[in-house]
Amino acid sequence: MRSSNKKPKSNSREVTSSRSASTVAKDKEGDSAQLRKIAAVMGNDHVREAMKGASSVRDGMLAHVCARLGIIHGAQDKERQSMSREREWFKGVAKGEDGYHNPDLTRWHESAKLYQKAGNALCNGQLGRGAQLLERAAAAEKAAFESVPKFVEVELEANQKAAGPPEEAVAVNDEASCSTCAKPSDLKIADKIIAQQGKIENVAPLPRRRPSWFDEEKEEEEEQQDEG
């Protein structure tokens, strides 16, 4: 039987890290040593300007992350509201009409998790890592929006649509770093998105109706049998 659920196509792979705390500490020591070498050649002012520029890029990407989490949360809420209006879409889903499938609030989880990881990396000074995660989050967000049922899509606001990563994320070197900062409160929106687990299981297909001519022919046959 055809499934009436539609999941976002996976456009990204989860990357697990086996780096130990000691490895991270060594990396930070290496970064500090590199900065000292640069300062010895170019001067402390050059280092300060470079770090200031990196922090500005970090802040821009963090603002993008928080904005996208807000958009995703709003879109998920539209889908949540549709779950209480089953009469409006039940027949379309049961008939398997194009673009009609069950509401599923979990479709937004992957992008929310990736945006949250990107924000955490940026706040920890991992500029390159944050940019990588941000690109993956944008791909997951696009997949989620593409899988939204038609009856939810028509309810979305003009700004509730997928967006690609900012130019800063594409241009940042994978090994780039920046100063650390406090986590913006809007990063917690990801937890609200992930907490929404509601979804509707497969809707049973509607029974096939017999054509009207079938009943008419059956009545004629019965009348002929009675006359005979």
Tell me, what's the pLDDT at 15? 37
| Contacts (Cβ under 8 Å, ≥6 apart) of 99 | 149, 150, 153
Within-domain flag for 6: no
Tell me, what's the pLDDT at 125? 93
Within-domain flag for 164: yes
Per-residue pLDDT 10s for the chain (228 aa) are: 445 566 676 554 443 333 444 444 444 454 555 545 544 444 444 445 455 678 889 999 999 999 999 999 999 999 888 777 766 665 666 666 666 677 889 999 999 999 999 999 999 999 999 999 999 999 999 999 998 888 788 788 998 999 999 888 888 888 898 899 999 999 999 999 999 987 666 655 545 555 454 455 556 666 666 665
Within-domain flag for 15: no
State the greatest distance between any 2 C-alpha atoms of the chain, in Å, as a whole number: 114
Provide the domain limits for residue 34.
Answer: 21-227
Within-domain flag for 5: no
What's the number of domains the chain is made of? 1
Read off the tokens for 191.
């937890």
Within-domain flag for 4: no
Within-domain flag for 3: no
Within-domain flag for 61: yes
If you compute the radius of gyration of the chain from its CA atoms, what whole number of angstroms results? 27
Residue of 199, 100, 109 lying closest to 154 (CA atoms): 100
Q: How far apart are CA 11 and CA 146, in angstroms?
A: 12
Q: Which amino acid appears at position 91 of this protein?
A: K
Residue of 62, 60, 54 lying closest to 185 (CA atoms): 62
Residue of 137, 188, 186 lying closest to 163 (CA atoms): 137
Residue 11 Cα to chain centre, angstroms: 10
Question: Any idea of the CA torsion for 88, 90, 94, 100, to the nearest 10 degrees?
Answer: 60
Q: What is the DSSP letter of 211?
A: P
Q: 0.85 exceeded by the pTM?
A: no
Within-domain flag for 12: no
Q: What is the DSSP letter of 61?
A: H
